[in-house]
Chains A and B, each alone.
Chain A
Amino acid sequence: MMMPKFVFLCAIAFGTLVAHIGNVWGQQPAKASLEQVEAYVRNTWKSPPAGWESRIKQDETQRVCSQFRNDPPRAEYAAIKAREIATLVFPADGNVLGSWKAGEAVAQTGTGGQFSDKDDTVRGGNCYACHQMAPKELSYGTLGPSLAEYGKIRKFESAEAKAAYAKIFNAQSVLPCSSMPRFGAHKFLTEQQIKDVTAYLFDPASPVNNP
């Protein structure tokens, strides 16, 4: 009489365990497929204003970075890097430095390109949203590293200035899936604005290099 009861209890225990595991698995939200997500996106932005359609669609780099949550496997990392390097356009005369004063405005300005802005609202890089820059400016964000004394630390070398220009033009040509916007590749900032903000980092007279 003992045996069947024991077996019976075991069966119940086992059944409960299976049900429990099933339940735990069931609770795990399955990952949504790309098609599912994009169907929601189309449904949420049914009729974007003319010229804004491309903002809703992802480019290949955005898609891969989203899929891997900004930590792409080696092959994807290399593919993104090659693709983004190919977008780089340097000033024709080779001079990457504009006016640091104009660059300060680019770094401070956070508007432009929002649906609440006018078409002719000047676009800014909003660098201060994420970076410390001039040590005297206290209102800066911490999503990116401090850029205080950026040029000075790099001895104002022209190769370093060129590298910074490339970084600002397309952050992902240096670090795939960086959270920094690709300002030049998206044509969000003009060549002149990128030169100006590079000068803000590299001009010895810029407040960035003068604590």
Chain B
Amino acid sequence: MRLLTVLGSLGFLLFATLSGLEAQQTTDVTEQEIERYRAMISDPMANPAFLNVDRGEALWSTARGSKNVSLQQCDLGEGAGKLEGAYAKLPRYFADADRVMDIEQRLLWCMQSLQDLETTDIVRRRFSGPGVVSDLEDLVAFVANKSSGMKFAVSISSLKEREMLAVGEALFYRRSAVMDFSCATCHGDDGKRIRLQALPNLAKPGKPAQETMGSWPTYRVSQSQMRTMQHRLWDCYRQMRMPAPDYASDGITALTLYLTKQAEGGDIVVPSIKR
């Protein structure tokens, strides 16, 4: 009942947000409304993204693939099946794959190597939408939630992690495409905004990076979906006029490691809810 009411208000807010695109004064009011609304539903039971957490939990323990096993033996870095705190240390190096992986890459790895699951359709449904449920978004919500209340602590101890971090930093400053944008164009200074949208400074360690990274995955009110960092960076590359980056590719992992390093020590409170 309560959840239905909340979903109703979300629908209304989405409508208000869209109308706001036309009349800017409305957007101002909408921003305040959403801020107030966000404070109001700090109660986890009222955040629709907890539906994703529940679905993710069910998927985690469902036997699938030609091996007909669940993901419960998947090693996210803390040992097979250990979920607590695993997300706080990702992306990280995995010896079995001899690669640095982010959460999505690791989940796909486990599906393929542990379950022998055909992932083409799962990757096709990587981003949820009307009538499309994303297994990966649900699983990330579930896994990330098991690190809620903890702090980011990525390790940069192996050679491959060091390379990933260095490349991530270079990608952050890499200008390209018809707008000459890099991530730093929009996220390289304190207190900037694009139109009325505040932009976090992600070019240095500190509070903006911590609060940003510590709040993903998140329920995006404007999209009526829960989203992960894969989607956020895909969307920023869209604004940069770059082609869509491949899902779960190393460039996205490199950027995610760089951003997570900037957010080191930051509190993880996920899934959150945002504009």
Contact of B170 among A37, A65, A115, A141 (CB under 8 A): A37
- B249 contacts A by Cβ under 8 Å: yes
Distance of A15 from chain B, by nearest CB (Å): 21
Q: Is the CB of A138 within 8 A of B28?
A: yes
Interface SS, B side: mixed
Give the chain B neighbours of A44 by CB distance below 8 A: 245-246, 249-252
Distance of A34 from chain B, by nearest CB (Å): 8
Q: Is the CB of A52 within 8 A of B167?
A: no
- List CB contacts (< 8 Å) of B244-265 with chain A: 244-246, 249-252, 254
Most buried by A among B166, B175, B176, B197: B175
Size of interface on A: residues with Cβ below 8 Å to B: 45
Give the chain B neighbours of A45 by CB distance below 8 A: 242-243, 245-246, 251
Q: Which residue of A lies closest to B165 (CB)?
A: A29
Contact with B along A155-190 (1 / 0, CB 8 A): 000000000000000000000000101100010100
- A202 contacts B by Cβ under 8 Å: no
- A62 contacts B by Cβ under 8 Å: yes
Distance of B188 from chain A, by nearest CB (Å): 8
Give the chain A neighbours of B39 by CB distance below 8 A: none
Q: Is the CB of A66 within 8 A of B195?
A: no
Contact of A43 among B162, B178, B180, B250 (CB under 8 A): B250
Interface size class, chain B: 35 or more
Give the chain B neighbours of A114 by CB distance below 8 A: 238-239, 241
- List CB contacts (< 8 Å) of B110-163 with chain A: 156, 162-163
Interface SS, A side: loop
Q: Is the CB of A115 within 8 A of B195?
A: no
The CA of A129 and the CA of B171, in the complex, are separated in Å by 23
Q: Is the CB of A128 within 8 A of B241?
A: no
- List CB contacts (< 8 Å) of B1-52 with chain A: 24-25, 27-28
Give the chain B neighbours of A46 by CB distance below 8 A: 246, 249
Q: Which residue of B lies closest to A171 (CB)?
A: B180
Contact of A56 among B27, B171, B176, B191 (CB under 8 A): B176
Q: Which residue of A lies closest to B189 (CB)?
A: A143
Q: Knowing A40-B171, A141-B192, A181-B180 are in contact, say whether A56-B242 is a contact too (CB < 8 A).
A: yes
Distance of B237 from chain A, by nearest CB (Å): 8
Q: A-contacting residues of B (Cβ < 8 Å)? A: 24-25, 27-28, 156, 162-163, 165-167, 169-171, 173-182, 184-186, 191-197, 238-239, 241-246, 249-252, 254
Q: B-contacting residues of A (Cβ < 8 Å)? A: 27, 29-32, 36-37, 40-41, 43-46, 48-49, 52, 55-58, 62, 65-66, 69-70, 110, 113-116, 128-130, 137-143, 179, 181-182, 186, 188
Can you spell out 25 A-B residue pairs with CB atoms less than 8 angstroms apart?
Answer: A31-B166, A40-B250, A43-B250, A44-B250, A44-B251, A49-B243, A55-B178, A56-B176, A56-B177, A65-B175, A66-B174, A66-B175, A69-B184, A113-B178, A114-B238, A114-B239, A115-B244, A128-B195, A129-B194, A137-B24, A138-B196, A139-B24, A179-B180, A179-B181, A181-B181
